[in-house]
């Protein structure tokens, strides 16, 4: 059973991995807010949520889309996750050494480059407006309104605030 001190060390190491990861993502245009990394993509925001498991020194990455004009006061994780992809479903872990932090960051970046970026490229406004897209009806309606230049400025500011794009 892990002690309080063990958990403290594990959280500190997670923070080290996240700082390394954030530096790499910044070069790709992402802004960090806690465990969320986001960037503008026209009428939508592409974002990542890095979930630290409580039971292990390991992460899961959520790759998501949010319509900038979305009115929800919370972030829905509409997208895909790293545990859906063989090779990334159990390897985003780290230890106590700087080498393990670097290896984990490299695996996180490999997932972003090989899976997340191609997925983001497929999520064009036209594709997202389709009934088969990941967006529920309300978000498709909000996207269509934005494309028609009828975005609600309050909704846009809310989304920017939630994702640290203010």
What is the pTM for the complete model shown?
0.93
Mean pLDDT, the chain, as a whole number? 94
Kindly tell me if the per-residue pLDDT of 90 is higher than 80: no
What was the pLDDT predicted at 24? 96
Burial label for 98, CB within 10 Å (0-12, 13-18, 19+), is: exposed
What was the pLDDT predicted at 80? 97
As a residue count, the chain comes to: 166
What was the pLDDT predicted at 54? 86
Mean of pLDDT values over 29-58: 95
What was the pLDDT predicted at 47? 98
Kindly tell me if the per-residue pLDDT of 142 is higher than 80: yes
What was the pLDDT predicted at 50? 96
d(CA 144, CA 166): 23
């Amino acid at each position: 059973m892990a002690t309080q001190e063990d958990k403290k060390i594990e959280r500190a190491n997670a923070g080290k991995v996240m700082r390394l990861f954030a530096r790499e993502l910044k070069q790709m245009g992402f802004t960090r807010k806690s465990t969320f990394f986001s960037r503008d993509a026209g009428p939508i925001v592409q974002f990542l949520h890095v979930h630290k498991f409580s039971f292990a020194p390991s992460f899961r990455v959520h790759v998501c889309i949010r319509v900038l004009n979305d009115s929800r006061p919370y972030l829905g994780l509409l997208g895909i996750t790293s545990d859906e992809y063989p090779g990334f479903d159990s390897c985003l872990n780290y230890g106590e050494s700087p080498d393990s932090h670097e290896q984990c960051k490299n695996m996180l970046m490999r997932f972003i480059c090989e899976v997340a970026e191609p997925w983001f490229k497929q999520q064009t406004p036209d594709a997202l407006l389709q009934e088969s897209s990941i967006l529920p009806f309300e978000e498709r309606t909000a996207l269509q309104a934005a494309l028609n230049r009828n975005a609600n400025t309050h909704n846009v500011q809310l989304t920017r605030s939630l994702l640290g794009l203010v």
